[in-house]
Structure 1
Amino acid sequence: MDTLENLVITRRLRVPVGAPADSTSGWGEVAARQLDAALLSVGFTCSAALLERLSRLPGETVVDLGVRILAGVRRLVGDHVRHNAYFIDFPANVPDTLEFWAGLLREALLDPVAAARVQPSTLDLLTLPGYGRYQHAYADLLAAHAELIPLAGDRVTVLELGGSLESEARDLYFSLAGAETPLAAEDLAALRTLAAFCADQPERVPVRENRAVINEVRLAAGQPLLVDTVTDVLRLACGCSGGDVTLATPTRFRSFRRAERRALLRALDAVATPAKLGDVSRHREQWKRLGERLHPHEYPQFPRAAGVFEVARGVREAAGFDSRVEAALSAGRTADAVELLEKAPGALLRRLDHLLRTGGRSAPAVLDAAERAAAGASGRVLLSLREHLQNRLAPAAGRVFTNRYGRAWVASDSRPPLEEEFLSRALAVLDEEIARRLPDPGELIVDPGVLDVALPLSGKAVAPGLGMLPRGSLSRVDGELLRFFVHWRQAGRRTDYDLSALMLDASYDNPTHISWTNYANGFATYSGDLTEAPAPHGASEFIDIRLADATQPIIIPEVNVYAGEQFHEAAEAFFGYMTRDAEQEGRPFEPRTVRMKSDLRGSGRVALPLVFLRGDDGDWRVKWLHLYLKGFPGFNQVEGNRGTASLLVRSIVERDYLRVRYLADLLRAKASPAGHATYIGLEAPEDLPAGSRAYTPATLHELIPA
């Protein structure tokens, strides 16, 4: 139950509270006020409704609940660990880089034991005594810093009153299960937990990875499975074996019980039509391994299921849909390819750009087919194509490719331009179909701060956290001081992460940097390099930037794996940023000033979470990246990847992402003085009329039409 409660609190910022009861202990109100004060210290507060409900509960109940709430929000903001800093007075009294290294070397030479280990011909500065490890206790750091001066600009995140745990868990479950976009790995794990708890099951689960997770529970309960392709069954078998339902990595299948084998083969037999057998070749080896566990020869009543494994072993031929389309395109038979693709509307729209470029005189017929296909494709496909085509209106600096893990690379854009007439017609068709699918919002209320948030067309690379927005989102940075941070704790071997900042001019040139090789410049300061992060406290690094003094308008935070475990291998690794005003002091890490915090878990060795940009108006904004570079096996430094990082960031910054503004304009045209209201914003206000529907970043995926 605690896991479910924590999911609701951290994902929805709602506190599930049972039925109200008058307090008999007499101090429920006191306990509620104490809880609210404790929450304020980490940048959270109870809504009026939540505070009133807690005040009516017994004080002991409020205390127990408060302990769990505080633990959840402290982890959400990154305050569950001790954030020490290498230089105790950071950001003050940080020495010059050369002065610091010279001092370490001098101390080593004056120490007879250390001097004997120092060999000038093979001197490794990172092995000098005293380098890379905290030189003071966390209590000493606290004593060296004054208390943070609270200001009105500090973050205050409101925790809302929720219903019962059962109802809140069900709402979260149905929201995740019914998402039109793929979920992050953490959300898939949450979906698995919720599916095992909730008795009610959603009727529609559009994303196949989500369907596999829900089918695990249905299989265990002996309920009918939600499958309509052979690959759905393979995903389910992988999930039941503790493997990857996205099929990106091979799964070692477990032994299945006889009832499970029968259920899997029955489901497979029902969907293994000749037209769908072509999908088997995509995961041929996985199917072979699964056949060894299911023993299809023992079940002659499922002959079509046995045919799947015959295709996997090469005993039987089955031409795949994609291979037939590719054969037609390779032979220059665009019309034949379009005819095939009309049977799969989503596939046709995904290939529309290619078909228009290769169609020649048949391009108008391609557009006719696309117009017919629009009604049968998913809302996510329509929106993704809309974003793609609007970026074809002007030449791009480069094409960005990103995989499901956030690993990104850039290639030059060698595609010929599309004719403006074709683009205009295609965009009009998409706008009309998307608008048709949107519901009547009634009275539409939109917070201007959410208009530049990108639509969440995929959530795979976005780890849940505090203040997280989809890739391409743009939001304002308030405050005079910007400080970003990284914290990590190694799992089994010495691990060295390096927080760095790449700084560029308006043309993405003239790079400078802040890192362990350059501690400071005229406006930025590094907290010091830590080369290991043992349990229990790990290690933290910070970079402090005085925005008014910044001479370069593009600041790219980086986290480089210099040595040891990758992000997804470490026991813990997260990044975030804070803002505060110049007169505020405080510790290096102050939870109430944290604006964004999220786990690092990509497979690359260089993390690029976001980029800070100064506009022509002088104001600073942050654009979300959620990217990882492959990097080198070890010794990654900001100096070594600045060319790749700058090109990649420029491609993201200059890309025209489809934002909430687009859907808000379509919804506004359909708004009516109905009896309900629709609110879209960064936070839901407390004074919304009863029956209103609110969309915030946590539920923005629900805006994507089916």
Structure 2
Amino acid sequence: MLEKLIIQKTLRVPASTGAAGDGTPVARQLDVVLLDVGFSASRALLEHIGTLAPAPAMDLAATVVSAVRELVGDHVRHNAYFIDFPDGVPDTAEFWADRLRAAVFAGGGTATDEQLRDAVASGAVNLLDLPAYGTYQHTHAELLAAHDELISAAGDRVTLLHLGDSADVEATRLYLALAGSSTPHGEADLAILSELAVTCVDGAQPAEIPVRENRAVLNGIRLVLGRPLVDVDTTTDVLRLACQVSGGDASLVTPTRFRAFRRPERRVLLAALNDVVGASPGKLGDVVRYAERWKRLGERLHPHEYDQWPHAQAVFEVARGERRVHTLAGRAEAAIRAGAIGSATSVLSAAPGLLLRSADRLLRLASEPERSGVVEAVAGALGSASGRVLLSLREHVDNRLTPMSARMYASRSRSAWVGPDERPPLPAELVAELSSLLDVEISARLPQLERPLVVDPEVLDVALPLSGKAAEGGFAVLPRGSRAPVSGELLRFFTYWRQASRRTDYDLSVLLLDDEFHTAGQVSWTNYRHDGVVHSGDVTEATDGATEFIDVPLTTGGRYVVPQVFIYSGESFDEVAESMFGYQARTREQRGAPFDARTVRARSHLRGQGRIALPMVFARNEDGWQAVWLHLYLPGTPSFNRVEDNTFTTADRVRALMERRYLTVSYLVDRWRERAEVTTWNGRVPDEPVTFIGIQAPEDLPAGSEVYTLDRLSELIPG
């Protein structure tokens, strides 16, 4: 449903166009129900529902409740293996011995406690063969009956929902923001964009679509619906489009099995190719990089049947090696290998973005006389590169004063490889010069604010969303490298999964690291307790869904707390029907069921490639605890992944991320301070319209205010 999608993405409730009447009782009921899941309706929203007739008021209220429950993970039943969790969790070995005792007695055998413990310790026992191991022994209703109601605390989360415009207006606004974004989207936002593109295909369109993957999504819809393509200006745009409509990877990270195309579709794709190459023959150079995919696409498009488009036919001639072209990157690489850094810089100057991405390498390889020429070329390219490239380079040079203990490479699929940082550091004066050049250019591109800027201090440590690929969808999810303060006295991690077609066992675990990132302990299905940290019990299949919890008191001895989700067996994160990770924050006195939506601080999807998920790390500093977002997936092994087998790999990645300096919202705010009035949000509503930047929008800002919250932070990235 479109309205639900808008609510979950923007926390704005589209205004109903239903009949007028007295919906006041419905509004009161909605307010109570929302508080039970940690939300609150703004005054304007409650007043709007109160003016509707009971039937449309109830429809709107039901949509709101359904949307927010799903957003925080309250749409499923979160059961725990041990019904009294966090109390009543036994010692791990004793529990296994108890299950083995039940198996022995059921078979008519006899054994002493010592023999049972020895059998468990030997590792020869198959836990899945033990009676009742890994499957719930009570219903969700029985779990709830065993726990008191949650004791409310002052720190419980309350997220405000605002009244929006009509569904059509809200859909168009969201569509234009997503389609015109200057940063790539993650899978969740691309799915939203695809759905909105169908609804908005004949409506207002963004002035430009900077991200080529977004173009592929929109043009995929337009191709199927018979509308003209938009903004196709490279051969790779056509390849992305073919991948998109074939249900493949438009980012071109993984190969796509192309579907059969209808004749009208083939004509559109070939005509687009012909126009691109006809206008700029040099763009044939892009074909070489994806030659094999072009050959496979040619088998589906039959370009030899269309002699009226010779430039399109040339694309496939290049792919088959029948026609040779020299690429700009190839010429630059040849010059670098020959030691001609000045020549390589001149070649790359024709592609400003590529030059800036290669700047570090060129500067490291350049001699002293050549280095000034590289800096001059970089300065000349700044005005032609995208804002995202400028910010990426600014973040990069900020990390080049000293070698890192480990260098981490995170791919667009959120997998990560860590290796030694063998690059010599850049000279401090060079870093300062590049930083100054970038600061000036970025400042010049920031929009001129017509209103005073008010900034919520909690947003300052949020990493700039330079790519949506570096984050998951969900609730209160922040980009990789973002830091958020942690309140409460107890963290409760949870993971939920529901298998699609075969038995699937996910395992929630926690790794504790000390100041030097050495292992200080772990809690998992093999070790239910350590230093006050408690596991809720191992669930080994999820036909109807399964949840595992881990409680971590913030008095624990570790410096870093790393929750992880391991695939022990079965379906991958991309294959299961549903999977999620999240955390709750509670006081020690708060009881209640293991899962309560009011205490959920964040919930993210688990949809990456790999067998081990590292969603976050929690770090202790002098001011308390911070949550730091990782959004990483490790390959692991096909089966039987365990925390004990991955401590070194995990610690390496955590250390690499924690030591890296990310460019955050505070960087942009500092640029604005030089030319605009900037104040810190103190909870008091200003008297005049403002531009507000924060985690969530406050209520009752003056009319005409512009609000940038988590769903709109990417709009702050200059073009």
Distance (whole Å) between structure 1 residues aligned to residue 229 and residue 312 of structure 2? 17
| Correspondence 1:698 to 2:711 | yes
Alpha-carbon distance change, 243 to 485 in structure 1, aligned in 2, over 3 angstroms: same
| Shift in Å, 1:363 | 0.4
Residue by residue over 1:404-432, the C-alpha shift from the partner in whole angstroms, topping out at 9 and shown as x without a partner, is 11111111100011122211111000000
Equivalenced residue count is: 697
Q: Write the mapping of 1:39-438 to structure 2, written as runs, cut at 5 A.
A: 39-112=34-107, 122-198=124-200, 199-219=203-223, 220-272=225-277, 273-360=280-367, 361-438=369-446
Distance (whole Å) between structure 2 residues aligned to residue 288 and residue 546 of structure 1? 57
Per the alignment, residue 16 of structure 1 pairs with 14
**Which stretch has the larger CA shift, 538-547 or 96-105?**
96-105
Q: Write the mapping of 1:445-464 to structure 2, written as runs, cut at 5 A.
A: 445-464=454-473
| Shift in Å, 1:324 | 1.1
| Correspondence 1:686 to 2:692 | no
Is contact 1:503–1:554 with CA below 8 Å preserved after alignment? yes
**Which stretch has the larger CA shift, 681-690 or 128-137?**
681-690
**Which stretch has the larger CA shift, 378-387 or 114-123?**
114-123
Distance (whole Å) between structure 1 residues aligned to residue 120 and residue 563 of structure 2? 34
Distance (whole Å) between structure 2 residues aligned to residue 594 and residue 659 of structure 1? 24
Distance (whole Å) between structure 2 residues aligned to residue 31 and residue 91 of structure 1? 37
Is contact 1:465–1:599 with CA below 8 Å preserved after alignment? yes
Distance (whole Å) between structure 1 residues aligned to residue 651 and residue 621 of structure 2? 18
| Shift in Å, 1:508 | 1.0
Structure 2 counterpart SS, 1:252? coil
Per the alignment, residue 559 of structure 1 pairs with 565
| Shift in Å, 1:120 | 8.8
Distance (whole Å) between structure 1 residues aligned to residue 24 and residue 59 of structure 2? 14
Is contact 2:614–2:631 with CA below 8 Å preserved after alignment? yes
Per the alignment, residue 5 of structure 1 pairs with 3
Residue by residue over 1:122-171, the C-alpha shift from the partner in whole angstroms, topping out at 9 and shown as x without a partner, is 43234211111111111111111000012221111111101011110011
Residue by residue over 1:574-615, the C-alpha shift from the partner in whole angstroms, topping out at 9 and shown as x without a partner, is 000000112211000001100000110111111110001111
| Shift in Å, 1:20 | 7.9
Distance (whole Å) between structure 2 residues aligned to residue 292 and residue 113 of structure 1? 66
Alpha-carbon distance change, 424 to 692 in structure 1, aligned in 2, over 3 angstroms: same
Distance (whole Å) between structure 1 residues aligned to residue 121 and residue 390 of structure 2? 64
Q: Partner letter of residue 478 of structure 1?
A: S
| Shift in Å, 1:250 | 2.2
Name which of 502, 510, 520 aligns with 2:529: 520
Distance (whole Å) between structure 2 residues aligned to residue 393 and residue 527 of structure 1? 45
Structure 2 counterpart SS, 1:623? strand
Residue by residue over 1:604-630, the C-alpha shift from the partner in whole angstroms, topping out at 9 and shown as x without a partner, is 11111000111123x111100001111
Is contact 2:362–2:374 with CA below 8 Å preserved after alignment? yes
**Which stretch has the larger CA shift, 254-263 or 625-634?**
254-263
**Which stretch has the larger CA shift, 587-596 or 119-128?**
119-128
Distance (whole Å) between structure 2 residues aligned to residue 120 and residue 629 of structure 1? 29
Is contact 1:325–1:340 with CA below 8 Å preserved after alignment? yes
Alpha-carbon distance change, 139 to 426 in structure 1, aligned in 2, over 3 angstroms: same
Residue by residue over 1:418-464, the C-alpha shift from the partner in whole angstroms, topping out at 9 and shown as x without a partner, is 12221111100000000000012230100111111100011113121
Is contact 2:692–2:705 with CA below 8 Å preserved after alignment? yes
Q: Partner letter of residue 522 of structure 1?
A: D
Alpha-carbon distance change, 57 to 314 in structure 1, aligned in 2, over 3 angstroms: same
Distance (whole Å) between structure 2 residues aligned to residue 647 and residue 286 of structure 1? 35
Give the TM-score taking structure 1 as reference length. Answer: 0.96
**Which stretch has the larger CA shift, 6-15 or 667-676?**
667-676
Mark the runs of 5 or more structure 1 residues left unpaired by the alignment: none
Q: Partner letter of residue 430 of structure 2?
A: F
Distance (whole Å) between structure 2 residues aligned to residue 396 and residue 118 of structure 1? 43
Q: Partner letter of residue 414 of structure 1?
A: E
Is contact 2:18–2:53 with CA below 8 Å preserved after alignment? no
Residue by residue over 1:337-393, the C-alpha shift from the partner in whole angstroms, topping out at 9 and shown as x without a partner, is 111111111110001000000111200110000001000000000000000000012
Distance (whole Å) between structure 1 residues aligned to residue 319 and residue 446 of structure 2? 42
Is contact 1:16–1:164 with CA below 8 Å preserved after alignment? yes
Distance (whole Å) between structure 1 residues aligned to residue 523 and residue 635 of structure 2? 21
Q: Partner letter of residue 108 of structure 1?
A: A
Structure 2 counterpart SS, 1:285? helix
Distance (whole Å) between structure 2 residues aligned to residue 34 and residue 119 of structure 1? 55
Per the alignment, residue 648 of structure 1 pairs with 653
| Shift in Å, 1:565 | 0.9
| Correspondence 1:468 to 2:477 | yes
Distance (whole Å) between structure 1 residues aligned to residue 229 and residue 150 of structure 2? 57
Per the alignment, residue 542 of structure 1 pairs with 549
Distance (whole Å) between structure 1 residues aligned to residue 677 and residue 588 of structure 2? 47
Distance (whole Å) between structure 2 residues aligned to residue 623 and residue 244 of structure 1? 29
Alpha-carbon distance change, 166 to 106 in structure 1, aligned in 2, over 3 angstroms: same
Is contact 1:455–1:659 with CA below 8 Å preserved after alignment? yes
The sequence identity of aligned pairs, in percent, is 55
Q: Partner letter of residue 448 of structure 1?
A: P
Structure 2 counterpart SS, 1:670? coil
Residue by residue over 1:495-529, the C-alpha shift from the partner in whole angstroms, topping out at 9 and shown as x without a partner, is 11110000011111143100011111232100000
| Shift in Å, 1:242 | 2.1
Is contact 2:318–2:324 with CA below 8 Å preserved after alignment? yes
- Taking only aligned residues, the RMSD between alpha carbons, in angstroms, comes to 1.9
Distance (whole Å) between structure 1 residues aligned to residue 313 and residue 688 of structure 2? 56
| Shift in Å, 1:676 | 5.3
| Shift in Å, 1:224 | 4.1
Q: Partner letter of residue 63 of structure 1?
A: M
Q: Partner letter of residue 130 of structure 2?
A: L
Is contact 1:20–1:53 with CA below 8 Å preserved after alignment? no
Q: Partner letter of residue 380 of structure 1?
A: R
Is contact 1:274–1:318 with CA below 8 Å preserved after alignment? no
Structure 2 counterpart SS, 1:639? helix
Q: Partner letter of residue 410 of structure 2?
A: T
Distance (whole Å) between structure 1 residues aligned to residue 123 and residue 549 of structure 2? 33
Distance (whole Å) between structure 2 residues aligned to residue 471 and residue 672 of structure 1? 29
Residue by residue over 1:323-345, the C-alpha shift from the partner in whole angstroms, topping out at 9 and shown as x without a partner, is 11111111111111111111111
Is contact 1:532–1:539 with CA below 8 Å preserved after alignment? yes
Name which of 473, 496, 505 aligns with 1:496: 505
| Shift in Å, 1:29 | 0.5
